[in-house]
A and B are shown apart, each in its own frame.
Chain A
Amino acid sequence: DSGVTQTPKHLITATGQRVTLRCSPRSGDLSVYWYQQSLDQGLQFLIQYYNGEERAKGNILERFSAQQFPDLHSELNLSSLELGDSALYFCASSVERYEQYFGPGTRLTVT
């Protein structure tokens, strides 16, 4: 158990819908990262937050947005969903500049 929690574990929704994924980092970690992993693909970095502020942006679509709240939990919002958005979404947290610890992921299926 990495100490990072993600909810929900599974999510099935229809095209055009909007969903919110939630992540709680390890106690004491200020950085939160979001990743997308499609079937048999590598990790695609989406976005990083550090202590509530956006720190780095990767290949995040405009339909996707995220935020980190004062209690350091983070949410990833995915809107106007398409079939190609079906993937595993991982959240990770870290003490800045050190190894990242990953949550169990949310498996999103868009039908």
Chain B
Amino acid sequence: GQNIDQPTEMTATEGAIVQINCTYQTSGFNGLFWYQQHAGEAPTFLSYNVLDGLEEKGRFSSFLSRSKGYSYLLLKELQMKDSASYLCAVLDSNYQLIWGAGTKLIIKP
């Protein structure tokens, strides 16, 4: 079966750095997406990785290791508005998006 694992919940402090991990086992791989979702709102696209390595975009970076079936999202200089759920999703061999259950990130002052 296809499986994506993320921690259910994480807590971090304003101004700090947090890393949200995602491991996946899917039938094929055509890319990995990270989305941010605030409570009651629509998910919004954050990043896309298809090759190994780190992609940096402002305070957010995403890393991929295809051989390990592993990705992480790194958030720096945390702000209260970063409190949200972060969803990892993998595009499989049929170009279908397989979604993780999401990681709820709580930021404390």
Binding site for B on A (CB under 8 A): 2, 33, 41-43, 45, 48, 56, 88, 90, 96-105
Contact = CB atoms under 8 A, between A and B. Distances in A.
Q: Give the 7 A-B CB pairs with smallest separation, nearest first.
A: A102-B42, A42-B101, A99-B45, A97-B95, A43-B99, A102-B43, A42-B102
Contacts of B95: 96-97
Given A100-B45, A101-B45, A45 B97 contact: yes
B51 to A, nearest CB: 15
A99 B33 CA distance: 8
Contact of A104 (B42, B96, B100): B42
B61 interface: no
Interface of B: 30, 33, 40-45, 48, 87, 91, 94-97, 99-102
A104 B96 CA distance: 22
Contacts, number: 40
- The B contact surface, by secondary structure, is loop
A84 to B, nearest CB: 18
16 contacts: A33-B97, A42-B87, A42-B99, A45-B97, A90-B43, A97-B91, A97-B95, A99-B33, A99-B45, A100-B45, A100-B97, A101-B45, A102-B43, A102-B44, A103-B42, A105-B41
B42 A43 contact: no
B97 A2 contact: no
Nearest to B98: A45
Contacts of B30: 97
A103 B43 CA distance: 9
Contact of A99 (B42, B48, B96, B102): B48
B99 A2 contact: no
Contacts of A33: 97
A100 B89 CA distance: 11
